[in-house]
């Protein structure tokens, strides 16, 4: 039975009416992820603005459907069996970026590459550490993405958040960001973010972005991957060591499984060397995680989001 067949016709019609456009049944997700593997979704639906996104979330709630928002597909691992629910794509107004003074008003579906380019052109500093990260503003905010000692949460002045049937705004004093996390209302989706940046020399901003990209290209593998696989452990557990260091010291670099391989450049990256399945990636994650645990007693937790009927093996 296809994933689409699991979604009742009435639910599909309700979702499409809420979106104001047709959805795509049995939508392939593998090609939409940066690692390039995974099955299909029952339905993919587009949200063009906050009004339609709130309506889609309300329809999802009415039919008790599983769902998630798909950005550019980084930091995501979809089960080979697929996803028996709804995938929401943000488009049109929710992909726009505008500048007002030293504020960037960004749709959550806007690519970080477009957002950092807008800041560079306007001579606004603050986003340089995110240069080269293959994600969207919404995904970056939801997981408080960061690099080189900086995180996007520190730049957020306000968020527009869509809930079933309504959109709310939360200002800086209402927001709480943690390591790779943001405390958002349950069931809420970031639809727009206002980032408060600092005026600077455009040439200096551009130079810093080139430096960040060069460092990223030097330390991270080329090719298809889902980005960092595991979170860095807390300071108490890992004594300041990164997940990459722990995996490297456990001898994980170069390990292979099917078409997947642990990068020889950075041990916290698993690459699709050709024809990898999600099952291959998961098996490598389990093997790497167990090596680190047996060597150090540290339990690495995934940074990549696991979607569908998949999970990591327990450690004991």
Q: For domain 4-93, say whether CATH 3.20.20.70 is its number.
A: no
180 is catalytic: yes
Instruction: Convert the pLDDT of each residue in 80-136 to its tens digit.
Output: 999 999 999 999 999 999 999 999 999 999 999 999 999 999 999 999 999 988 899
What residue ranges do the domains of the chain occupy? 4-93, 96-218, 221-307
Catalytic residue, chosen from 46, 128, 160, 180, is 180
For domain 221-307, give the CATH number.
3.90.78.10
Q: Count the helices and strands in the chain (H runs, E runs).
A: 8, 20
Six-digit token pair at 156?
A: 């957020």
Q: Which stretch of 179-193, 248-262, 284-298 has the lowest confidence by average pLDDT? A: 179-193
Catalytic residue, chosen from 213, 242, 303, 305, is 303
pTM of the model: 0.91
228 is catalytic: yes
What is the rounded CA–CA span in Å between residue 291 and residue 297? 9
224 is catalytic: no
Tally the residues of the chain: 316
Catalytic residue, chosen from 74, 228, 231, 291, is 228
Instruction: Convert the pLDDT of each residue in 201-227 to its tens digit.
Output: 999 999 999 999 999 888 888 889 999
Answer for the pair 288, 299: CB distance below 8 angstroms, yes or no.
no
β-pair type (177-178, 83-90): unpaired
For domain 96-218, give the CATH number.
3.30.465.10
Terminal alpha carbon distance of the chain: 37
What is the rounded CA–CA span in Å between residue 91 and residue 302? 28
């Amino acid at each position: 039975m296809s994933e689409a067949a699991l979604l009742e016709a009435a639910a599909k019609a309700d979702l499409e009416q809420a979106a104001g456009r047709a959805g795509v049944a049995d939508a392939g997700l593998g090609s939409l992820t940066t690692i390039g593997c995974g099955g299909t979704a029952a339905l993919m639906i587009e949200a063009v603005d906050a009004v339609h996104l709130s309506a889609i979330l309300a329809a999802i709630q009415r039919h008790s459907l599983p769902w998630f928002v798909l950005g550019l597909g980084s930091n995501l691992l979809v089960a080979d069996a697929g996803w028996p629910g709804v995938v929401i794509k943000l488009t049109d107004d929710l992909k726009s970026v505008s500048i007002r003074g030293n504020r960037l008003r960004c749709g959550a579906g806007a690519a970080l590459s477009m957002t950092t380019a807008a800041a560079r052109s306007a001579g606004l500093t603050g986003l340089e550490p995110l240069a080269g990260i293959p994600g969207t503003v919404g995904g970056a905010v939801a997981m408080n993405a960061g690099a080189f000692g900086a995180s996007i949460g520190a730049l957020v002045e306000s968020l527009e958040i869509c809930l079933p049937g309504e959109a709310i705004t939360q200002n800086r004093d209402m927001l709480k960001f943690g390591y790779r996390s943001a405390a958002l209302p349950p069931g809420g989706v970031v639809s727009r973010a206002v980032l408060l940046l600092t005026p600077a020399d455009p040439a200096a901003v551009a130079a810093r972005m080139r430096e960040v990209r060069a460092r990223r290209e030097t330390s991270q593998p080329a090719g298809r991957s889902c980005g960092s696989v595991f979170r860095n452990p807390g300071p108490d557990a890992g004594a300041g060591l990164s997940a990459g260091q722990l995996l490297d010291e456990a001898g994980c670099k170069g390990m292979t499984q099917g078409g997947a391989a642990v990068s020889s450049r950075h041990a916290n990256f698993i690459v699709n060397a050709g024809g990898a399945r999600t099952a291959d990636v998961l098996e490598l994650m389990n093997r790497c995680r167990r090596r680190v645990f047996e060597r150090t007693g540290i339990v690495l937790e995934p940074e990549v989001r696991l979607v569908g009927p998949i999970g990591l093996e327990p450690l004991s």
